[in-house]
Amino acid sequence: QVQLVESGGGVVQPGRSLRLSCAASGFTFSNHNMHWVRQAPGSGLEWVAVISYDGFNKYYADSMNGRFLISRDNSNNSLHLQMNNLRTEDTALYYCAREGYGGNSGTDYWGQGTLVTVSS
Amino acid sequence: EIVMTQSPITLSVSPGERATLSCRASQSISSNLAWYQQKPGQAPRLLIYGASTRATGIPARFSGSGSGTEFTLTISSLQSEDFAVYYCQQYNNWRITFGQGTRLEIK
């Protein structure tokens, strides 16, 4: 079965960096675009970034202001999010999500998320 | 950026009754719309994609309709497990966006 397991979250001071990872299994990872979506405590879902199935196309939400970098390793079935110059407003649960094959079904599988807390 | 607006923010409905949730896009997204259910402490679950196609394992009481800019999620005969937060999502381009959510609560 499809599994997405995020890791790398934690407590970090403002201005520091953190790298999140998502381990994928149960499907052909290299066939799917992958997304990061975050959810601040008590708030709704906010899209963060997407990377195409082959890693060539990457797009980010404007609010990330160039501080985040999405990447993937298809040989290891893993997705990553490098977050730099973190701010208190980046505190959230970060989910990785698989886009349905062909991009016609939204994000059909989600991990359970990894919590990032930015605090001094 | 395509802005998604959901209404109402909170909906109070009695078990066994019908719930109708709305989602509006700031520009046409064809049928590139999905609906998700999220319960406390859980990841979102895909309910509907392509505006009207139920995802695998989703009960028939969930139905979606609409195209262009106006969309609706209908839950007929609400069950206790249906009380949750519902989000719409557009995936008309690479930069997907979500509505702010509708909280469906027991009346």
**pLDDT tens, position by position, A55-85:** 999 999 998 878 999 999 999 999 999 999 9
State pLDDT tens for residues B48-67.
999 999 999 999 999 999 99
Burial A52-70 (b: 16+ CB within 10 A, else e): bbeeeeebbbeebeeebbb
Distance CA A54, CA B31 (A): 26
Q: Band of the pLDDT at B13, cuts 50, 70, 90?
A: very high
Is any Cβ of chain A less than 8 angstroms from the Cβ of B89? yes
Is any Cβ of chain B less than 8 angstroms from the Cβ of A57? yes
Tell me if A44 and B98 make a contact (CB, 8 A cut-off): yes
Distance CA B66, CA B88 (A): 12
Reduced to 3 DSSP states, what percent helix, strand and coil does chain A have, rounded to the nearest 5? 10, 50, 40
In this predicted structure, the answer to whether residue A103 has a pLDDT above a threshold of 80 is no
Is any Cβ of chain B less than 8 angstroms from the Cβ of A61? yes
Distance CA B71, CA A47 (A): 20
In this predicted structure, the answer to whether residue B95 has a pLDDT above a threshold of 80 is yes
Burial A3-24 (b: 16+ CB within 10 A, else e): ebebebbeebeeeeebebbbbb
Residues of A within 8 A of B31 (CB-CB) are none
Tell me if A104 and B87 make a contact (CB, 8 A cut-off): no
Give, as one character, the DSSP assignment of residue A62: G
Choose the closest CB to A106 out of B38, B91, B95: B91
Mean pLDDT, residues B73-91 taken together: 96
Give, as one character, the DSSP assignment of residue B23: E
Tell me if B91 and A107 make a contact (CB, 8 A cut-off): yes
User: Distance, in angstroms, between B19 CA and closest chain A CA?
Assistant: 20
Residue type, B79: Q
Q: Band of the pLDDT at B97, cuts 50, 70, 90?
A: very high
Distance CA B62, CA B46 (A): 11
Mean pLDDT, residues B17-37 taken together: 97
> Can you give the pLDDT at residue A33?
96
Is any Cβ of chain B less than 8 angstroms from the Cβ of A110? yes
